[in-house]
Structure 1
Amino acid sequence: MASQEDITPGNQPVQVVVAQKAMVKANAGKGIKRKMNRNRTLTSTGTANGPQSQVTVKTKKKKTKKQKKAEKEAAEASSAQPATQVTETEETAEIAEITAATAAAEITEITTETGLLVRDEISTPSAASGGVPEPTASYLRRAHLAPSRLSSPRRILIVMDLNGTLLHRPSKRRASHFIARPHARIFMDYLLSTFSVAVWSSARPHNVQAMVASLLTPAQRQRCLVVWGREHMGLSSADYDARVQCYKRLARVWGDRCVMAAHPDAQGGGRGRWDQSNTVLVDDSAEKARSEPHNLLRIPEYLGPEAESQHVLPQVHDYINELAWQADISQYIRENPFKLDASYKL
């Protein structure tokens, strides 16, 4: 498959060997008019400056000595000038048309092939998938109260995204190859040993498992309350297989039995539960947190080491530690959303 550069028309003129032209010139004085059956062969080769097409016109008639001499002179003249500039004639116009058609066909093929890799635009989920969520009135009322600080930090629930947040997949053709964000492994080790962590990605389950395996040890994986993928987004069958916008409704996490059992008060028979006061969603997408916008700790999308100019995760680490001191996380994030400090130093 040629690349787009291979099929871009170059600056080199077309080289044409036209045997019958020289023959007609040699016999012009005798007024000889011959009909020729010509066989054209088109070859196209890619060069640094683009493709160079060569058309050889052959005659099936027996040639006279004068014709052969004229052809020899024409060939010598052609070798002296490797690329002869040809004026616009019926023959050169036909050559240009064929060359353009060939190039257009290759461009179409490249567009088609590339189209298989280019992702479609994200569409809105259907009503069967819950449509587009909005925060409830009670959620907003509580989030708009003044934040207050506790006398000591507590264990909070962290819902952690994967791709774009902790990992980057440089090539979609190598679906299982991921690059971890700087400090990602030590960052996750700290969270798992200090807080309650649920992993939730909009990727398909097998991709989620591949990402987790590339980031966490088996022991760390066991400490995750849940590891969820696309199957927990509440999507219809049609939306699950389509490229639709996914929403991480935190009520789904709060209502899960495994997550509920991890609440600090649950072990003592208490009635404590996870909610907007003690949960933070770490993600690179604000839209995914549409139902609980003030529980989002949004960080820049990780696009690889070349694009990482700041210590992102160490600053996220410090911010999460502050959230552990807050009586209501949604109130604190609303007034003090996470912001990167360009002057931050480890």
Structure 2
Amino acid sequence: MSKKVLAPTKAYLNVVNKGSITLKEARKDQLLILDLNGTLVSRNRKNKSMYVRPYAQEFFDYVFENFTVMLWSSAQPHSVKYMSRIFRHRRDKLVAVWDRTSLDLSTRDFNRKSSTIKDLNKVWKHFDGKYDATNTILLDDSRQKTVLQPYNAIHPTEFEHHSTAFVSSGESELLHVMEYLSAIQFQSNIAWYIKHHPYHNLPKNNEKNIYKLEFYKFADNWENPPQVVDFTPVNNLLNDFSSIQIK
């Protein structure tokens, strides 16, 4: 038996193709949906901790000022609770926090690593039609999760603190996402704009790249500030040498 092919509906594509007008003033009625792991944080499952993507706090300052912000992660509820610490005092400004329970998975798939889809129709229904394809943005590193509404999604490079790309070159992609969002703010139809002006990832080497990351242990007191870990190559080299025991 063949698997059902997931694709955008005709009704969705009709909205996408309506065109967009560049407005004189930025809109204040746009919904930005944020993912967590791989997009804003890099989780370390072994010791139950996480590293936060560079420039996250600058990014949060910008998006909470200019968008209505929601969180939607495919992680388990307890993991979402811990990871949402990155928002600090802004957490109360999230209009909704959705986790794996919102994905309508079978019990088997819920408790294992499985493919998931974020259907924005569910979000739009939740908000009684206040949001739709013209004013919704989903920030998620996974293209597979957004197949039903592909032109409402921005896909930054997956963030992994241990990846060769980050360790060798650092990171500044959230600044690039902010620039893209600043253009979207003036569009009457987000889906049309993303289809015709898709987001492109930054080159690995960028002058604004940094190596310092906020680090949280899930077991730490929530009142504790994050540690700052410097992954600058020379520091990594020093750390490697410091771990060598001379016999």
TM-score (norm 1): 0.54
Tell me, in whole angstroms, the C-alpha distance in 2 between the residues paired with 1:236 and 1:307: 40
- 1:254 equivalent in structure 2: 124
- What 5-or-longer segments of structure 2 have no aligned partner? 209-247
Tell me, in whole angstroms, the C-alpha distance in 1 between the residues paired with 2:100 and 2:72: 8
- 1:162 equivalent in structure 2: 36
Tell me, in whole angstroms, the C-alpha distance in 2 between the residues paired with 1:144 and 1:248: 22
* Corresponding position: 1:286 with 2:143: yes
SS in 1 for 2:27: coil
Letter aligned with residue 299 of structure 1 = P
- How much has 1:185 moved relative to structure 2? 1.9
Letter aligned with residue 234 of structure 1 = D
Letter aligned with residue 10 of structure 2 = A
- How much has 1:143 moved relative to structure 2? 1.3
- Asked if the contact 1:278/1:329 (under 8 Å) is kept, the reply is yes
- 1:191 equivalent in structure 2: 63
Larger radius of gyration: 1
- What 5-or-longer segments of structure 1 have no aligned partner? 1-126, 261-271
Tell me, in whole angstroms, the C-alpha distance in 2 between the residues paired with 1:146 and 1:254: 20
- 2:106 equivalent in structure 1: 236
SS in 2 for 1:135: coil
Letter aligned with residue 131 of structure 2 = W
Tell me, in whole angstroms, the C-alpha distance in 2 between the residues paired with 1:178 and 1:312: 18
1:142-187, Cα deviation, whole Å (9 max, x unpaired): 2134332122111210010000001001x32112x10001001221
Query: In 2 relative to 1, CA 132–186 (structure 1 residues): closer, same or farther, beyond 3 Å?
Result: farther
- Structure with the bigger RCO (C-alpha within 8 Å, sep 6+) is 2
SS in 2 for 1:208: helix
Query: In 2 relative to 1, CA 344–308 (structure 1 residues): closer, same or farther, beyond 3 Å?
Result: closer
Query: In 2 relative to 1, CA 345–149 (structure 1 residues): closer, same or farther, beyond 3 Å?
Result: farther
- How much has 1:326 moved relative to structure 2? 0.5
Letter aligned with residue 38 of structure 2 = G
- How much has 1:284 moved relative to structure 2? 0.4
- 1:137 equivalent in structure 2: 10
Aligned with 1:327 (options 165, 175, 188): 188
Query: In 2 relative to 1, CA 307–195 (structure 1 residues): closer, same or farther, beyond 3 Å?
Result: farther
Tell me, in whole angstroms, the C-alpha distance in 2 between the residues paired with 1:221 and 1:133: 33
Cα RMSD (Å): 2.0
* Corresponding position: 1:172 with 2:50: no
- Asked if the contact 1:302/1:308 (under 8 Å) is kept, the reply is no
The count of corresponding residues between Structure 1 and Structure 2 is 200
SS in 1 for 2:79: helix
TM-score (norm 2): 0.75
* Corresponding position: 1:227 with 2:227: no
SS in 2 for 1:248: coil
The percentage of counterpart residues that share the same residue type is 31
Tell me, in whole angstroms, the C-alpha distance in 2 between the residues paired with 1:281 and 1:289: 8
* Corresponding position: 1:276 with 2:137: no
Tell me, in whole angstroms, the C-alpha distance in 2 between the residues paired with 1:273 and 1:293: 20
- Once the two structures are overlaid, the 10-residue window that deviates more, 241-250 or 307-316, is 307-316
